[in-house]
Chains A and B, each alone.
Chain A
């Protein structure tokens, strides 16, 4: 079945530094990848949608300069949290969608980011 690998699974960084999270589709070509943020005991909130080879589309209220998304290939999307602050601490999940659409969505295992 479709597998999405997300790394790292957890990361602790100092305030002011940048962190990169990778999301890879291992056995299918992901034409579209999504990045979600999940606070404790809350639902998944879409941050941005990225299509291979084009700029990401950010949801309202998401700072595109803070959350840099790159989708350079059909199997890899990255989310870079720049100049991280404690309020950026959260659980970040990626998902990938291949073609045809009814192939469905596959989720990565998530990354727990803690900014100290």
Chain B
């Protein structure tokens, strides 16, 4: 069974600063995908970034980047130049081609002006 662990229930960052959210996972599969989703107060799930396990290069989307350490089964999200609109719940998620998506417990990010 796949498990996803987010050990930081809450994080806080000053506007314009950088913050890193942690995520670890456990799986025996070799072909899988990792995701970070943002859930603002509207509760709409918004895809932030996605990483294919077979790719060694870390994914990047503008101010968002990941540090994917496959051997350590670690998948952290770095948010640079944090903005007030980045405040939300962030969920790390795991999936594989023939399976469903599993989520971590989430990290609530607060951005201080």
Q: Which residues of A contact B (CB under 8 A)?
A: 34, 38, 42-44, 46, 49, 91, 93, 95, 101-102, 104-105, 107, 109-110
Contacts and interface: CB of A to CB of B under 8 A. Distances in A.
Interface residues of B, number: 20
Interface stretch (B18-26, B40-48, B63-71): B40-48
Given A43-B103, A43-B106, A105 B95 contact: yes
Interface of B: 33, 35, 37, 42-45, 47, 50, 52, 91, 95, 97, 100-106
B103 A104 contact: no
A46 B99 CA distance: 12
B100 A43 contact: no
Contacts of A46: 100-102
A91 B91 contact: no
Contacts of A110: 43-44
